[in-house]
Amino acid sequence: MSGWGIMPENIAIIDYGVGNLFSLQSSFAAIGERAAVVRDPAEAARAARLLLPGVGAFGDAAARLRSSGMDRAILEALDRGAALLGVCLGMQLLFDESLEYGRHAGLGLIPGTVRPIAELIPPELKIPHIGWNALRFRRESPLFRRIREGDHVYFVHSYAAVDCDESVIATADYGAPLTAAVQWGRVYGCQFHPEKSGDVGLRILKAFCETEARPC
């Protein structure tokens, strides 16, 4: 992965005050990719690839994304042909809205809604959906070119994306098929944590680095 020329780092990890950036940055280093933690929206807007992390509550994260100016930076980068990967809450933020503690608008990059898992699965199952679960592929995606159907990844979440059939590329079975990964053009999302999913997770991050993205 060389030859971008202008930017020494390929991937901008968006720092808007949410999420474990250290593990993500270490994961990219482990697969020989240079990722920079970026706090300046102007710098994020110029990146060829963006990674949107996130843990915690949707409403709070969405507000921080807007107040930091990163929401506009992401749109600008995508307009220039960049690729985006949202992880965990970062994936949920890609959708129209979430019903976590009220109703909060997301980035609206992918049609769909984020709802409590409790509404989707049988009541005897524990919440959060936490642990290793197998990926069931729904569609071919460049994100999966280095892994196989049935490979396990690590999940920790109490909310899941619904009404997003057109973008779902993988689900995980937990009493019901839960949205595990999505793709909408150059916008990708993983509900699970690739940076905590061992070798399989690193393969997914590597594949993201190899997806089509125009250098900015």
Partner 1 sequence: MITKRIIPCLDVRNGRVVKGVNFTDLRDVSSPAELGAYYSAAGADELVFYDITASAEGRKLFTEALTEVARRVFIPLTVGGGINGLADFERVLGCGADKVSVNSGAIRDPALVGEAAKRYGDQCVVLSVDVKRVDGVFRVFARGGREDTGLEALSWVRRCVDAGAGEVVVNSIDTDGVKGGFDLELLSAVCQRVRVPVIASGGAGSIADFVSLFETIPDIDAGLAASIFHFGEVKISELKRVLAAHGIPMRQLHSGGGQV
Catalytic residues: 88, 193, 195
Task: Give the whole-angstrom CA distance, residue 78 versus residue 100.
Answer: 27
In order, the DSSP letters of 83-127 are EEEEETHHHHTTEEEE-TTS-EE---SEEEEEEEGGGTS-TTS-S
Q: Is 201 in the site for partner 1 (CB under 8 A)?
A: yes
Of the candidate residues 103, 139, 148, 214, the single one contacting partner 1 (CB under 8 A):
148
Q: CB-based burial of residue 152 (10 Å sphere; 0-12 exposed, 13-18 middle, 19+ buried)? A: middle
Position 196: which residue type? Answer: K
Per 3-state DSSP, the chain is made up of helix, strand and coil in percentages (nearest 5) of: 30, 30, 40
Identified binder of partner 1 from the candidate list 10, 68, 133, 183, rule CB under 8 A: 133
- Identify which range of 98-106, 114-122, 131-139, 184-192 contacts partner 1 by CB under 8 A: 131-139
22 by DSSP, 3-state: which? helix
142, 152, 211, 216: which one binds partner 1 (CB under 8 A): 152
Amino acid at 190: C
Among 97, 198, 210, 216, binds partner 1 (CB under 8 A): 198
Contact between 17 and partner 1 per CB under 8 A: no
Closer Cβ to partner 1, 42 or 118, answer by number: 118
67 makes contact with partner 1 (CB under 8 A)? no
Residue 29 binds partner 1 (CB under 8 A): yes
**By CB neighbour count within 10 A (0-12 exposed, 13-18 middle, 19+ buried), where does 172 fall?**
buried
| Closest listed residue to residue 61, CA positions, set 46, 51, 71 | 71
Among candidates 50, 191, 167, which has minimal Cα distance to 117? 191
134 binds partner 1 (CB under 8 A): yes
Interacting stretch for partner 1, rule CB under 8 A, among 6-14, 110-118, 180-188, 195-203? 195-203
Site string for partner 1, 71-110 (x = CB under 8 A): ----------------------------------------
Interacting residues toward partner 1 by CB under 8 A = 20, 22-23, 26-27, 29-31, 55-56, 126, 128-134, 146-148, 150-152, 154, 156, 173-174, 195-203, 206
